[in-house]
Amino acid sequence: MATNYSYKFSLTAPTPPYKAVEPLFEHAYDEFTLNLPRDWKPAAPTAANAFDFVSEYGAAIAVSVDLRETPDGEQAALAEAVLDGRRQAMEQLAPGRVEVLHRTVKPHAGGAAQEAVFSAELDGGSIYSCVAYVTSRKVITFGLTSRAGRQRASDLFNNLVVRAYQPRLP
């Protein structure tokens, strides 16, 4: 006597768990807007022209604005000097223990600025990444410091720069 078995298979992929969109808080200033999740809190500024934020997850953001006139032909050189200054500041914190991971200076896609990008790791695991825009009337720099490791710090930086940070150019 034969026994018949019946099986059912679903060919529909399971519905991924619902992930609520985290509300963002807008920090709007004359020269930029920054839309951050609520776990990022304003912190005491490190300089008169800086705006600082800290996350409960051990990361920090600093946005600085230096209002200055820079002729078009001098913007790329100034962008290089900004990145040199970032590296020198890191070398003072950790002499001989700074590894540059990325460094570029190129015209911004919109043509209104030179875009300078820098990322480095300090011995001990801190990652510092920044993007600076040098325009005819200012230098605006967004910097992120994180101890989350290279990949997570890179992902956080890219996510913040693409989705949260909106500099006003020029």
CATH number of the domain where residue 151 is located:
3.40.1000.10
Q: Evaluate whether residue 13 is within a structural domain.
A: no
15-39 per-position pLDDT tens digit: 555 455 578 899 999 999 999 998 9
pLDDT, mean over the chain = 89
Q: Evaluate whether residue 129 is within a structural domain.
A: yes
SS3 content of the chain, % helix, strand, coil (to 5): 20, 40, 40
88-122 per-position pLDDT tens digit: 999 998 888 999 999 999 999 989 999 999 999 99
Angstrom distances, CA of residue 60 to CA of 42, 126, 130? 10, 11, 12
Instruction: Specify the pTM.
Output: 0.85
| Structural domain containing residue 157 | 24-167
Q: Evaluate whether residue 134 is within a structural domain.
A: yes
